[in-house]
């Protein structure tokens, strides 16, 4: 688990140092899923899509286990989640050392479990992250660094989106994030769409517009 597999789209507009867009997939998916958006993302970015460390077989991976009890209640493995959080931070440092990336222009885009991890990375280590696109996830304080509330969040901004008909992660869970973020002083925008657990074209275009305007 020391080295995460990834795919990369290099920037078409090359600068001395380019910004980074790190794509973080959801539970049971892989690095090719969100990478399908790469061609539609701003050309000045390094777009890197990273694979989660836990193999679920048949091309499916997870950032942490989701367990069920006898009543089919879900429980996240918070110890694994925190390990993956720090693994992602180490991965970001690694790619910054290997590519000419502007360390002040790192953006995370996560979907579902990847969105939950994106919150955890950015709020635990805000000095490393400038933007987060949190798609169809929720903010879990259980996955944050113990002293996260002492961090300086003035340089951080977030785009949050969720489907009102999401059958995997209830929209009510997503609605809590803007309240917590605003209390912490994190700039954020929140959007809902009449869809299930996914990203609609309108959702994607709103995200892309936000990326180019912040």
Using CA atoms, how far apart are residues 128 and 24, in angstroms rounded to an integer?
Answer: 16
* 5 secondary structure, DSSP code: -
3-state SS record for 152-207: CCCCCEEEEEEECCCCCCCHHHHHHHHHHHHHHCCEEEEEEECCCCCCCHHHHHHH
Q: Is the four-CA dihedral 65, 170, 192, 190 of positive or negative sign? A: negative
Instruction: Give residue 107's pLDDT.
Output: 97
- Closest by alpha carbon to 24, among 94, 85, 129, 110? 110
Name the pairing type of β-strands 157-163 and 187-193: parallel
Q: Walk me through the domains of the chain, giving residue ranges and CATH numbers.
A: 6-213 (3.40.50.1820)
pTM over 0.75: yes
Which residues make beta-bridge pairs with 105?
none
Instruction: Give residue 67's pLDDT.
Output: 64
- C-beta of residue 156 within 8 angstroms of C-beta of residue 118: no
Instruction: State which residues of the chain have pLDDT below 70.
Output: 1-2, 67-75
Using CA atoms, how far apart are residues 63 and 54, in angstroms rounded to an integer?
Answer: 6
Exposure string of 40-77, with b = 16+ CB inside 10 Å and e = fewer, is ebeebbbbbbbbbbbeeeeeebbbbeeeeeeeeeeebb
Rg for the chain, CA atoms, rounded: 16
């Amino acid at each position: 688990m020391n080295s995460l597999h990834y795919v990369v789209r290099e920037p078409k507009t090359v600068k001395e140092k380019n910004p980074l867009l790190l794509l973080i997939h959801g539970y049971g998916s892989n690095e090719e899923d969100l990478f399908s958006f790469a061609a539609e993302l701003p050309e000045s970015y390094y777009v890197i899509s990273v694979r989660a460390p836990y193999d679920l077989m048949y091309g499916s991976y997870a950032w942490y286990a989701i367990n069920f009890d006898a009543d089919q209640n879900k429980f996240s493995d918070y110890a694994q989640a925190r390990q993956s959080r720090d693994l992602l931070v180490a991965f970001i440092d690694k790619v910054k050392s290997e590519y000419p990336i502007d360390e002040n222009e790192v953006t995370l885009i996560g979907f579902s479990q990847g969105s939950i991890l994106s919150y955890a990375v950015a709020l635990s280590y805000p000095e490393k992250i400038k933007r987060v696109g949190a798609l169809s996830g929720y903010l879990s304080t259980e996955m944050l660094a113990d002293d996260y509330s002492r961090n300086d969040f003035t340089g951080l901004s977030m785009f949050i989106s969720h489907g009102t008909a999401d059958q995997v992660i209830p929209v009510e869970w997503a609605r809590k994030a803007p309240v917590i973020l605003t209390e912490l002083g994190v700039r954020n925008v929140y959007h809902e769409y009449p869809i299930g657990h996914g990203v609609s074209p309108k959702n994607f275009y709103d995200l892309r517009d936000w990326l180019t305007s912040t």
